[in-house]
Structure 1
């Protein structure tokens, strides 16, 4: 199952909804904006209505909320209800749910948003040794092996799949980063590594856009990154539940204007997501909707390759089983 956040136009303006890709329209080659989406809240309401439940629309909104963080706060129960809704939509000829709510949206009838248009928080790690070694001229500090270091990014800087990224005028060096992000689905504090997996709702593709020139300057002051990262964070196109993907072995590819620049897998992580969650949650509470990046795969960015993005380039990051996250960068 591939979960999505999308917007539809209504007489009172755009309305945000939670959906899932209609599996009959989903292939490895289907672009993110060309798949049909099932409105999970409406479809779950339709299942309740078919079972004769009273007030099915109200009950559906509590079981499958139409907003991703509220959905994640229900944990595995929401995932189970979403699966039931998707199955019902696949088996029925009905087009409408309670109150006339539309069950299915075809391409062109919706606008795909990031799965979490505004995460609860955003952290990004640097957990893959080859990337660190390449980025640091082979000089890796001992602390990197001891701690899964990370920085906190701008949760308000998320850009939707397909959105054009306007590069900040304080930077002239444009770069991408090929990553996977884990999305927290269960609240927790002081979480041991062996219990960390159940706190992950699922995974999405993460492009940690990097303004390399200003990033290099500000980090000489032993803080940051800040302005080098905070202007754009790509997430999407979908959120895939943890049970539906072997994330460690999922092939990852970065294409720039169709040309392959980077490949890898996150099985290369020196610090696992479980170790990262254990570290981050020490004396600190993780909440549903927190996003944690894996860090860049080896040779997963221009900095390692010795080449940069140019004005008008289209960056497509693909993770098998999740989809392709695409953005065009402009000066």
Structure 2
């Protein structure tokens, strides 16, 4: 399934929901399941739908196999009705199926509790460090290079890449990431795949000149990686049964021109290995995000080519889709909410 979080404009404002993408449409899972239960003569269809298929992605992940099974059942039910040209409207008049161009897609999990970023490709790491006059650390192959990024900078496909006021070298990174589907601590690598809820595309936008200074101070990435809309995810999240992480082609296009091309199998530490490492004496929770790291030649730094305001950055991963964002300069003064 292609799971998405979307916003729909209503007379009372924007409403956030989750759904499954089917062709050029998106099926509202919660409303669809309430209608399905209504037709099954369930006495409390909306209450049960809220418990089993809630309209929030983290809560949906928390529902585990029961929520996924219910979603699979109701999507098949809706698709069959669509094929038969049956009108689908909720018992209370709610819209069940939207055209994709009528809604705004958000990041699959708009507000993850944790964002774990990684540096995980030998070639990408070497390419980048050589630009900074450095070499691979001795511990590189002994332990995964993981750091926490900002969850307040998460944005989705079609959201702007906001050029920070303090950088002259902004860059993209072509990455794949996963969402955790259930709680776990000290997860053995042999069972870690069970904790993967879905895969998505990740653009780890980076201020390279700032990052270079931070590295020289022996500090982890901070303002070189953490700013508004620096963690771009989407356009949706695909469940593990629909992808093959051992062989997923990845492409980055700038204004339609291919700049980067590679495969997810370039990463050194697998997602199960990353999960096992990060969960050591630390609880992972549904909705937590873990990146697989930038693949070799998956950034402008390695090519000495730099994105500019007005550029359209498209990251595509086989089996998932295309994450598309335009680079924009900030306009006006920022306030405090």
TM range (shorter): over 0.9
**Do 1:57 and 1:99's aligned partners in 2 also have CA atoms closer than 8 Å?**
no
Aligned ranges for residues 1-331 of structure 1 at < 5 Å? 1-22=1-22, 25=23, 35-92=24-81, 93-137=86-130, 139-231=135-227, 232-331=230-329
1:280, 1:83 → 2: CA distance? 30
Q: In the aligned structure 2, how far is the partner of 1:114 from the partner of 1:38?
A: 17
Tell whether the 8 Å contact from 1:43 to 1:88 is kept in structure 2 after alignment: no
Give the structure-2-normalised TM-score: 0.93
Displacement of 1:77 in angstroms is 2.0
* Structure 1 contact 63–78 (Cα < 8 Å) conserved: yes
Scaled by the length of structure 1, the TM-score of the pair is: 0.94
Q: Secondary structure at the match of 2:33?
A: helix
In structure 2, what is the Cα distance between the partners aligned to 1:160 and 1:299?
23
Counterpart of 1:85 in 2: which secondary structure? helix
* Structure-2 separation of matches of 1:109 and 1:309: 30
- C-alpha deviations, 1:269-293, integer Å up to 9, x for none? 2111111111101110000010000
Give the Å deviation of 1:238.
Answer: 0.7
The alpha-carbon deviation at position 267 of structure 1 amounts to 1.0
For 1:159 and 1:201, how far apart are their aligned partners in 2? 19
Are 1:21 and 1:37, in contact at CA under 8 Å, matched by a contact in 2?
yes
After TM superposition, give the deviation of residue 330 of structure 1 in Å. 2.0
- Which consecutive unaligned segments of at least 5 residues does structure 2 have? 330-337
Q: Distance in 1 between matches of 2:58 and 2:160?
A: 25
Cα shift at 1:250: 1.3
Of 65-74 and 77-86, deviating more is 77-86
Contact 1:181 1:206 in 2 (8 A): yes
Distance in 2, Cα, partners of 1:249 & 1:37 = 27
Q: Quote the Cα distance in structure 2 between the aligned partners of 1:330 and 1:236.
A: 19
Q: CA RMSD in A?
A: 1.1
Partners of 1:77 and 1:40 in 2: CA distance? 14
Deviations 1:124-155 (A, max 9, x none): 11111111111122721121100011110100
For 1:98 and 1:186, the matched residues in 2 are separated by 32
Please state how far the C-alpha of 1:224 moved relative to its aligned partner. 2.1
1:71-91 Cα shifts (integer Å, max 9, x gaps): 111122222111111111111
Q: Distance in 1 between matches of 2:327 and 2:220?
A: 23
Q: Deviations over 1:30-55 (max 9, x none)?
A: xxxxx211101111112111111111
